[in-house]
Chains A and B, each alone.
Chain A
Amino acid sequence: MDRESLRLTAPAPPHPPPQADLVVLYREHRVGLVRLAVLLVGDLETAEDVVQDVFARLHGRRRPPDMTLAYLRTCVLNGSRSVLRRRAVALRRTQRVTDLADSAETAALVGESRRQVLLALARLPRRQREALVLRYYLDLAEREIAQVMRIGQSTVRSTTARALARLLRELGEDA
């Protein structure tokens, strides 16, 4: 390219998503994503941090052209995983983090029966918890769960089945 045409064409950007999209997505989906995160990590403060971090990172760099809600949910899942890994390391536990870090007030507000369910959810392996939250809180179809978790649909099915079976054992439910 000669210098003249270089000068004329170099600065043209290749159809980037406008900044406005991120602001709109943030406004529309922030609370929903925090709610998703709170079910994955157990406490509100951590959940807020996870979601803020997702948007701060997206704000700072080129964004993927297909920045959808599913993509944002995947980011929240990844962020939640990181947080829980770090928390487990910090607590020097070899077993999974079982405590809901939620306040006593929250526990009182949900009631004992629900608290048991949420505790059992927190004790699940990460993937099993994710599958249950995406299905029974977000009501996503199997295909959508597979998309957000980046796994195959058959894996979604088997993971969900194992998770439910485990909860049944822990909570002593009748079939």
Chain B
Amino acid sequence: MSGIEDRLRDAMAVRARMVPDEDRPLPAPRDARRAGVRAAAVALAVAATAVGVVRLSTSSPEAREEAAGVMTARDTTVSDPPDVSIYLCTEVSAFPRCEGGAVTAGEKEKVRRMLAARPEVRKVVFEDRRTAWENFRRDVDPPEQVKDTTLENMVESFRVWLEPGADPASVARAASALPGVSNSVMEACLRNEPETSATDRCGFTGVGRA
């Protein structure tokens, strides 16, 4: 039997070696269903956030492909979680800091400008209620909670990615000082301590409107 085995080994090894060892870029994600969400999230991020802070910007095919490969508000929470989440007041916010109603466009703009001014901020994505709702529906366990939660329970937020080694606390604290912010959370801290008592240690609540 060794004759045929050797011939097999030899023929396959030679044929395989003919495949050149070349570098190629990782192909863009292929998922028809997500393509629509991704495009919408990119448009949203571009419209809503400061220039220079967000990577998802130009309309060139390479940039779109990189953007599709880099992240959206939906995909990033799975593959590359943000360092800081800044939650914004809604009409029905339970936080006493949100007295006076939902966050205004001007207040959102102030948060964006604060983030843009900080060199340690690498990327910012604005997550609207619809995206938050879809992420929640996909991620939350057990599914029973999903039935009780509606779009109105969802809040808008800014998801912030920092440069390696940056201190999330200073960004989170600064955000919580701005009007229209209900609270901010340091995500890595929260992941390490899932008990609800840790929320005090892992976040800052907003100081409200003067």
Binding site for B on A (CB under 8 A): 1-19, 22-23, 26-27, 30-31, 34-36, 38-39, 44, 47, 52-53, 55-57, 59-62, 106, 109-111, 113-115, 117-118, 121, 132-133, 136-137, 164, 167-168, 171, 173-175
Contacts and interface: CB of A to CB of B under 8 A. Distances in A.
B78 A62 contact: yes
B210 interface: no
16 contacts: A5-B196, A11-B82, A12-B194, A17-B79, A18-B79, A18-B80, A34-B19, A36-B16, A53-B30, A55-B27, A56-B28, A62-B78, A117-B10, A164-B1, A164-B4, A167-B4
Nearest to A4: B94
A49 B19 CA distance: 14
A32 to B, nearest CB: 9
B104 interface: no
A35 B16 contact: yes
Nearest to B2: A175
A12 B191 contact: yes
B contact residues, range: 35 or more
Contacts of B190: 8-9, 12
B186 to A, nearest CB: 11
A3 B95 CA distance: 9
Contact of A60 (B22, B29, B149): B29
B130 interface: no
A27 B69 CA distance: 16
